[in-house]
Chain A
Amino acid sequence: MADSNQSSDFADAFREDALSTLDNWGGVISDAKNSEAEETYSKLMRCAHNLKGNAGLMGFEQFSKAVHRLEDALLRLNTNKVDPKNSQLLTLLYDTEAFLRDWVILISVDPKHVAESISIIEKIESLSLNPSASLASTGAPTDGAQSNEPVKLDTNHAQKNEAAPKTDGNQKENSKYVEETIQLPSRKLDNLIHLVGELTLSQSIVSRGFNEGNTNTQQVIDALKMSEKLSVDLRQAVLDLRMLPMNGLFTRLERAASELSTRLNKPFHIFTTGHNVAVDKAVLSRIFDPLLHMLRNACDHGLENAEEREKSGKPDQGIIRIEAAVQSGGVSITVSDDGRGLNIEKIRAKAIEKNLISKDQNYSENEIRSLIFRSGFSTTEKVTDVSGRGVGMDVVLREIRMLGGQIEVHSELGKGTEFLITLPSNISLVEAFIIITNQSYFTVPTSDVLEIIDLKNYEIETSSLHKRMIKLRDEIVPLLPLSLFLKFDDRQTNLEMNYALIVRHHNKMIGLIIDEVVGQQQIFVRPLTGLLAKFPWISGSTILSNGEPAVIINAREIAAEGASGQIEGKKISELESK
């Protein structure tokens, strides 16, 4: 890990970050015409703040000062209620984007780069200090209090006006700016296009076979086999699109570490390895907070101060390592420090005090250590600025479990602590309801459900066609107990009529009666394989935040079958009367 290498990695990360912030900036300006002034300003200020912070961390003083002035100017413009739709101001803001973009690129290549002039920012500044004067007339602004080059400002404006229609055209495309985006190497996209091309070819061979009424030729059989293989490849390639390397995350953690080190006045080394390990984007965005929390803990509680370290014969600067590696079926991330280690006795005493364990029982050291993951456990008395903001390791554990991963702790007193996280690598995140029926938990993707209604508020009617039905906004909705579909051998199905999931099948709505709605959360979907893939109505499995497995039910498929009045060939009316 050569130093120069690392600093150029930092510069790369800064550039990436700053350019994407400037993309946002551009998006906000394009959207300004359709937004409230205050919103526009607050978004711009956030962008500026972001840039300032990142530049500050990199030590780009001139840049961060200039952006600081920009931020102040934006604040003043907001307070003075200067309309950001004003074309003169808009032009300046556009120019600022271009100006900062160039600066970011220059400075990330050469950290010593000094900008000769920041006149654009000065212009915005002068505008903010004296808005009425500068904006009084549309054409020539009279010289504002600090404006040095009012004339040039005007020409600039005129020039930009010519280009205005073009920007207007872009506006619509830019308005969906906040959408989640993903960057990927074009190689991945090319691969997809290639696969789709081959698949189309195979498919056309098969359709020709059908059209000619001769499907039993070697050519058709080969094409079918080929398309089978291609669709597997395609699936893999599509899943692979969401896989991103860890390096961005590591950069952010390293930055946070250097900030922590300054704030706590505790110099330490941080080493990260496994920058190229790829994980799902959803995992990547959710794992940052838990890792940051562990980093804070390691720094604040784990590492001793220099004096203490010297006494125990350690080098005066502590070491924190964050290491990612690929392992079978997923990735592992280790966060370790060479600090004081977990004090078993202290943890035991604390746990007894907090009534988490009983005094007389014997626990293994491992069991004691894992108590730090229990909610309501925190060993530091005082809440420091750095760690202990009410989130503890229990939150970390919960987050990691939700990602389908798990966490272990190893520690030796006086030597250090190590947290080992293992995560699955290919998963997808879905918003789902957690419901109870037949005394079991199930999950249903929210996208499958139109709404959930409380049956207490509806009158349940009977007709010749439906045993139970309700009127929902003038539409007749037949009700079916979900428990009819999800049967257990050893359980009596008793029907409670509490809630109904309203699911659409074609243009009909069907209500599936359930006992209870427990909540709504994001779940990680794992595909079912082998034996598990054989059971009807189940589309996947997941692990709930309490660590229990639960299956995801396919409500649409159930609704379709329900609409046909049959379950696996048996009449629903007969099944219900049993």
Chain B
Amino acid sequence: MNSKANSNINNRYILFRLGEETYGTPIMKVREVTEYKEPKPIPNSMNGFNGVINLRGEVLGVIDLRKILNISSTSCLSFLVFENSGSMLAGMVDRVMSVIVIPEADIEKSSSKNSTTKDYYLGIAKLETGLVTLIDLEKIGADLNS
């Protein structure tokens, strides 16, 4: 990582799997990755909200990224814990793969404001291994909040 001149913390991404595809999100926005545990459902909650878990004494809301992004998948092994308007949320993902540096030049910013994707996408990164969709966890959280 240190070999690249432009490898600062802001262009590091965490890659994870949702269904058949690989997604990424800026690592700065992720507080931690933790093992999946069955959330306790909360009554009257919205679609995409799966309940709460106890993470070291803190009660965290769990959101189902697969449901929100309309991805069908059955296995979930990890949570990405991220901050959302002062509290923490845990996003369900199939599994976490790696942390990599993606230079800005390799990212094609999503420009077209497509109404169905609701602005959750930061862009698409072209890696040697294929394309990775970069998503914005903060936006997803904020959207659920409104």
Contact = CB atoms under 8 A, between A and B. Distances in A.
A547 B38 CA distance: 13
B115 interface: no
Contacts of B44: 485-487, 535-537
A484 to B, nearest CB: 10
A487 B43 contact: yes
A529 B145 contact: no
Interface stretch (B6-14, B82-90, B93-101, B122-130): B82-90
A531 B56 CA distance: 19
A424 interface: yes
B41 A530 contact: no
Nearest to A550: B40
A541 B59 contact: yes
B80 interface: no
A423 B56 CA distance: 9
B84 A406 contact: no
A299 to B, nearest CB: 28
Interface in A524-566: 526, 528-532, 534-538, 541-543, 547-551
Give chain A's interface secondary structure class: mixed
Given A487-B44, A534-B145, A529 B57 contact: no
A531 B145 contact: yes
Given A440-B40, A440-B43, A537-B43, A532 B57 contact: no
A334 to B, nearest CB: 16
B131 interface: no
Interface string B39-50: 011111101010
Contacts of A537: 43-44
Contacts of A535: 42-45
A417 B145 CA distance: 44
A531 B141 contact: yes
A577 B120 CA distance: 40
A307 interface: no
Contacts of B89: 530-531
Contacts of A441: 40
A489 B49 CA distance: 11
A91 interface: no
A405 interface: yes
Contacts of A438: 43
A363 interface: no
B57 A404 contact: yes
Contacts of B87: 529-532
A99 interface: no
Interface residues of A, number: 36
Nearest to B88: A530
Contact of A532 (B41, B56, B61): B61
Contacts of B40: 440-441, 548-550
Nearest to B52: A549
Residue among A528, A531, A547 having the largest count of chain B Cβ atoms under 10 Å: A531
B85 A530 contact: yes
Of A438, A489, A537, most B-chain CB atoms within 10 Å: A489
A552 to B, nearest CB: 11
Contact of A440 (B41, B47, B57, B144): B41
A544 to B, nearest CB: 9
Nearest to A439: B41
B59 A531 contact: no
A578 to B, nearest CB: 16
The contact size tier of chain B is 20 to 34
A488 B54 CA distance: 20
Contacts of A541: 52, 59
A406 B58 CA distance: 10
A445 to B, nearest CB: 17
Given A535-B44, A535-B45, A530 B59 contact: no
A551 B59 CA distance: 9
Interface in A396-416: 401, 404-406
Interface string A508-533: 00000000000000000010111110
Interface in B58-83: 58-59, 61, 63
A128 interface: no
A329 interface: yes
Contacts of B15: none
Q: Indicate the member of A535, A541, A549 with the most B CB atoms within 10 Å.
A: A549
A443 interface: no
A422 interface: yes
Contacts of B92: none
Most B CB atoms within 10 A — which of A401, A405, A542, A543? Answer: A543
Contacts of A329: 58
A543 B57 contact: yes
A548 B54 contact: yes
Interface string B19-58: 0000000000000000000001111110101001110111
Given A538-B42, A549-B52, A530 B61 contact: yes
B43 A488 contact: yes
A489 B43 CA distance: 8
B43 A526 contact: no
Given A530-B85, A532-B87, A422 B57 contact: yes
Contacts of A440: 40-41, 43
Contact of A549 (B53, B84, B88): B53
B75 to A, nearest CB: 19
Given A489-B47, A530-B87, A531-B87, A405 B52 contact: no
Given A440-B41, A543-B59, A531 B52 contact: no
Interface in B101-146: 141, 144-145
B42 A551 contact: yes
A537 B44 CA distance: 9
Contacts of A528: 59
B43 A486 contact: yes
A543 B43 CA distance: 17
A423 B42 CA distance: 25
Nearest to A490: B41
Interface in A477-501: 485-489
Given A547-B54, A551-B42, 11 more contacts: A329-B58, A330-B57, A406-B57, A486-B43, A530-B141, A531-B87, A532-B87, A535-B42, A535-B44, A542-B59, A549-B54
**Cβ-closest 5 pairs across A and B:** A530-B87, A486-B43, A529-B87, A541-B59, A549-B54
20 contacts: A330-B57, A422-B57, A424-B57, A440-B41, A485-B43, A486-B43, A489-B47, A529-B85, A529-B87, A531-B49, A531-B84, A532-B52, A535-B45, A536-B44, A538-B42, A541-B59, A543-B57, A543-B59, A549-B40, A551-B42
